[in-house]
Amino acid sequence: MLDKIAIDVALLLPPEVEKLAMDLNADLISGQEQPPIVLNKKPCLPHASLVMAAASMESVDKIAEELRGLIEGLMPMELKIAGSYHMGTDEEPSFSGLEIEKNDKLQRLHEGIAKVVRPYHLSQVTKEMFITGDKTDDFIPPYVSSFFEEQCGEKFWPHITVGHGKLGPVDPRVFVADTVAICHLGSWGTCREVLARIDK
């Protein structure tokens, strides 16, 4: 077992949104020989990241306990998928997914989680901290390392990554989230293993 791991404190999705993400992923990767992201219940769980960090394995239960009151006070939470997004060019890895409309409650959840997790964050993030080990892509370790500087606060962008490639339009829809999990990260920011789960 690893002493230091890369984690994602993430919203787990209700069944209908989980199925939507998996169905869109299946369409997106159809014909790809070795797709980097294959969404399913295991090993790549559809999710919406709230805070990424590196931490000691022994701190996971402490983080979960500190988060419990915050999460129970803000969940369940009504959220809206605004539509699909696409990032990247033909010359670099291209990502697509579902953009979640930011609201005050979601922002408070993100900022509250960041406040709890940041003291546990380890500044040096290596591939060995990810469940995919040395097969981890080069993109995600520096992304996790700089998360609090580059992805937090007003820069927080809630979304559900569907996979590599270009996704077509997706109609807006409302859903209710009631579960946050601390997950062990794998390549490309995938949630590979649930380490702790906090349900409303």
In the chain, domain spans: 4-199
With a CB cutoff of 8 Å and minimum separation 6, the contacts of 183 are 7, 8, 9, 10, 45, 47, 191, 192, 193, 194, 195
Answer for the pair 175, 14: CB distance below 8 angstroms, yes or no.
yes
pTM of the model: 0.93
- Give 154-198 pLDDT, tens digit per residue: 999 999 999 988 899 999 999 999 999 999 999 999 999 999 999
Q: Which amino acid is at 43?
A: P
What's the pLDDT tens digit per position in 73-123? Answer: 999 999 999 999 998 765 566 889 999 999 999 999 999 999 999 999 998
CATH 3.40.50.720 assigned to 4-199: no
What pairing do the DSSP bridges indicate for beta strands 47-56 and 159-164? unpaired
